[in-house]
Amino acid sequence: MTGAAPTQRTWSPGVVHTVLALGGFAIGTTEFATMSLLPAFSKGMGVDAPTGGHVISAYALGVVVGAPLFAVLGAKLSRRNLLVILMGWFALGNALSAFAPSFGALLALRFVTGLPHGAYFGVAALVAAGLVPEARRTVAIGRVLTGLAVATIVGVPLANLVGQWLGWRWGFGVVAALAALTVALVMVVVAADRPDKDASPLRELGALRKAQVWLTLAIGAVGFGGMFAVYTYLTATLSAVTHASAYAVPLVLAVFGVGMTVGNFVIPRFADRALMPVAGGLLAFSAVALAIYPFAATHLWSITIVVAAIGIGGALGAVLQTRLMDVAGDAQSLAAALNHSAFNTANALGPWLGGLAITAGYGLTSTGWVGCGLALGGLAIWAVALLVERSGTSRSD
């Protein structure tokens, strides 16, 4: 457990995890709600939807760049102070996005706002795991990532409604307020800690020399892509293939979030006992669910069940986060942050490949086959990581 000053109240791990999850809720809300606000801000900025979509890509690029950057530059800071800086930066970026005077400015601001995203989750995961026994690390990380899942159920519809009623700029304003609240709560409930005196940017960069770090990141970058391949085109599939009503679409989207939430609560309890087997099992489970998706898309009841199953596969994030903690050695912050760079690489890879399949004439449901292929690709990399690990263990015996 992180050391607290004698005069500071010590809060229970559950309270700290909830506050850290609130930050994840704010981040998840802006990440997913921006997709639903795309028509509104594209119209407001006088650009077409494909051009407006660059705003989403700019944010994702910011995540990929910012995760290692902040982890390395913040190596000598205490974790609580780094959390405050990261979430304060995120709050300011969203507030400024709400006042963006032009499309170019909005594009730049979304890139800047995305920079602290991955590092926040990485540091929050380390803080959360440090508050519990080693056998419950993945459970603690799952609690923090639950904020991201709950955002798809509550935060995204809320931001979307605010955007419809008051204008898209207020959608970013809501996220800025949530992030500011997180900053205040982190300062109250997260115990003050001292920076590791041996920490340095060079030590953090040492994680990049470890093959298992790269293999774990590759599992996420490829294996997670299947979920995004389907989710990105889910609304269009529900309308054009399932012929769901306008009222049913947000309910199915919410079911996806429910699946993620359940997965993040349940799966980590097993992962703490058998981390790599659970990671492989999740990838196989996701591949099956994604393969069923094209057949389930014609009926509302069946696609709803499959979408929930695909959401459960999102628990892979917590599992891989713990795996990175195990293989990164002393470079914990960088490895933890890079998990979310991998996640956003998947966020770019899945929709791109899914879009190629649709453009090639295979139809909206082909995203399920693309997703299945990506999940199997992640499973293949998982098998390589397992073989390399066992080979290394055998040589050391």
User: Do 117 and 132 share a structural domain?
Assistant: yes
Domain span holding position 164: 9-199
Give tens-digit pLDDT for 329-341.
766 777 777 888 8
Of 166, 199, 232, the position where a domain reaches its end is 199
Q: What is the pLDDT of residue 394?
A: 46
85 assigned to some structural domain: yes
In the prediction, which pLDDT does 7 show?
45
Domain boundary among 181, 199, 217: 199
pLDDT of residue 330: 66
At 4, give phi and psi (nearest 5°): -110, 150
- Cα–Cα distances (Å) from 81 to 187, 188, 383, in that order, read 8, 12, 38
Q: How many domains does the chain have?
A: 2
Amino acid 201: pLDDT: 61
Question: Residue 65 domain-assigned?
Answer: yes
Residue 23 near residue 182 (C-beta atoms within 8 A): yes
Measured between alpha carbons, how far is 258 from 254 in angstroms, rounded to an integer?
6
Cα–chain center distance at 350: 14
Q: What is the pTM of this model?
A: 0.79
Shared-domain flag, residues 66 and 140: yes
Q: What CATH number is attached to the domain comprising 255?
A: 1.20.1250.20
Give the domain-ending residue among 199, 228, 262.
199
Return all residues near 7 (Cβ < 8 A) that are at least 6 apart: none
pLDDT of 95-138, one tens digit each?
A: 999 998 988 898 899 999 999 988 898 889 888 988 888 778 88
Does some domain include residue 319? yes
365 with 347, same domain: the answer is yes
User: Do both 210 and 328 map to the same domain?
Assistant: yes
Residues of the chain with pLDDT under 50: 1-7, 394, 396-397
pLDDT tens-digit series, residues 184-238: 999 999 888 776 665 556 555 655 677 888 999 999 999 989 998 898 788 888 9
